[in-house]
Structure 1
Amino acid sequence: RFLFAADDVVVPVGQDGLVANVAKYLDGQPVLGVNPAPDLYDGVLVRIGVGRLGKLLAASIAGNVGIESRTMVQAELDGGETLLALNEIFVGHRSHQSARYRIEAEGEAENHSSSGLIVASGTGATGWARSIMEATHLDLSLGREEHAVGFWVREPFPSVATATNLRAGKITESPLLITSRMNEGGVIFADGIEQDFIAFDWGRQVQLQPASRALRLVVDQ
């Protein structure tokens, strides 16, 4: 419910997930991720020590800091709703089983029955996407600032009505198009927050691609 002003400097203090959660509400403001407990938090996104905050906060206000422009993922539904994520967006069934949909990518299309799919940024490629890549050996190279996202289908099932060829790929210019074939229970959610979902039932369509917005993460130099 909080509205960020265009000239704000945003300082999440805590776990890495705080940066991912706040990123979707920003539009160009610099973000200083502060790690108050390096022995507890990995510091992938909260990379600034408490002792460095004062100097970097002043430098950020003056516009005199290094910035990483982290690519985000955008989902846009046929009804006009949009969803942004720093790590990944999930499309599937709320049970994580038996999601049915039509997938279209780079001029190819097929019907799927799977455990859903994720579309991840270069930042998210080190998280959920990484575990899928390690399990399936469907590796994609994604830079954190590269204007591209990757998609991975989870456990696609082959049958007379469903195929498994479109299992992974990189999306740059042409969006990934998903059409729901689920009578009920279809969902889309961002960055692992399942309770904050958009319903994705029969006939609804969603386009997924790199977002026009990016997270401007301050670099501790």
Structure 2
Amino acid sequence: MSLAPRAVLVHRTTEYEELVARHGTHGQAAFFLSSRGRGIEEVAERHHRTRRALAEVTAAVPLDWRRARVERADLDRFPFAPEDVVVVVGQDGLVANVAKYLHGQPVVGVDADPGRNPGVLVRHRPRDAARLLAALPGTGADELTMVEAVADDTQRLVALNEIYLGAPGHQTARYRLGLDGHGGAVEAQASSGVLVGTGTGATGWLRSVWQERGGRPALPSPAEDRLVWFVREAWPSPVTGTALVAGELAASAALTLTVESDRFIAFGDGVEGDALQLTWGQTVRVGVCARRLRLAG
């Protein structure tokens, strides 16, 4: 007999909860915000909207399903199971936060605060949860491309939007960049880092760099097996070049960086606290990940 699905509700601590935890009481949090020209009323109202959304989604879980809840800070310790249905209640970025911990489980993104989020990944309203969960896990889903970085010491990082590679603090990093499909081209570079991203990431950090580069190369769609990459602020010198500063990677291609700095990191989706730690002489390859994020449409 197979197990009933388990609904895993993913959420994050609200700004209001963080303020009260830091300052002790509602009143002290209100005083802190007022000293900086802000009122607590709007922050508290957003907190209540988020909690109402979480309660509505929780109530929509079928009675014969198992259920669990996990806060964003605990995602790296939560044991996801193959039969889970993951329901993210929050912002678009929260879907990216959970994506790297999944292996094919379907994800439903619920916008807890409509009007403040683009809604690229949290596509649904709390009132839609019952209908969506009733149709899962057998219903179709969008298969979103992910990006991965694999180091020569077996460290591995997966991300939904983009991976940044460079020095901690985004200072100047030195490395040798190699590119598949360009005759084995390799260039020594000094820059403030390299971004490699997906079509989903093309709505965020990656897009800002793309716009600065005149809109080239063409950005991929979220489900396309293609990545784009950009070198940020490459510095020309007698020993470093700027010939390889942007491009795209097909599904079978990879970008290779050989570290020539004492400290070098790679992190995904803006989470610097969960990074690959690399040092002089190590190599990391970045390309399309075999895993996909299954996001309910």
Please state which band the TM-score falls in when normalised by the shorter chain: over 0.9
Alignment of 1:20-39 (within 5 A): 20-39=96-115
Partner of 1:18: 94
Higher relative contact order (CA 8 A, sep 6+): 1
Structure 2 distance, partners of 1:7, 1:183, is 43
Residue ranges of structure 1 left out of the alignment (5+ in a row):
none
Contact 1:140-1:169 within 8 A present in 2 as well: no
Larger Rg computed on CA atoms: 2
The one-character-per-residue Cα deviations of 1:38-94 (angstroms, maximum 9, x if unpaired) are: 022221100111111100011013x13x31100000000000011000000000001
Percent same amino acid among aligned pairs?
Answer: 45
Q: Name the CA distance, whole Å, in 1 between partners of 2:161 and 2:271.
A: 11
Counterpart selection for 1:100 from 164, 171, 174: 174
Q: TM-score normalised to the size of structure 2? A: 0.71
TM score, norm. by length of structure 1: 0.95
What amino acid sits opposite 2:148 in the alignment? Q
Cα distance in 1 between the residues matched to 2:262 and 2:171: 14
Q: Distance in 2 between matches of 1:94 and 1:80?
A: 20
Q: What's the counterpart of residue 211 of structure 1?
A: 289
| Structure 1 counterpart of 2:158 | 84
Whole-Å Cα distance in 2 between the matches of residues 213 and 55 of structure 1?
A: 27
Q: 1:174 Cα deviation (Å)? A: 2.1
Give the root-mean-square deviation of aligned CA atoms.
Answer: 1.0
1:23-172 matched pairs, under 5 angstroms: 23-61=99-137, 63-64=138-139, 66-106=140-180, 107-137=184-214, 138-172=216-250
Q: What is the CA–CA distance in structure 2 between the aligned matches of 1:54 and 1:69, rounded to whole Å?
A: 22
Partner of 2:257: 178
Q: Which consecutive residues of structure 2, in runs of 5 or more, have no partner in the other structure? A: 1-76
* Structure 1 consecutive aligned stretches of length 4 or more whose deviation exceeds 3 Å: none
Kindly indicate whether the alpha-carbon contact (under 8 Å) linking 2:95 and 2:122 is maintained by their aligned counterparts in 1.
yes
**In the comparison of the two structures, how many residue pairs are matched?**
216
1:76–1:208 CA contact under 8 A, matched in 2:
yes
1:151 partner SS: strand
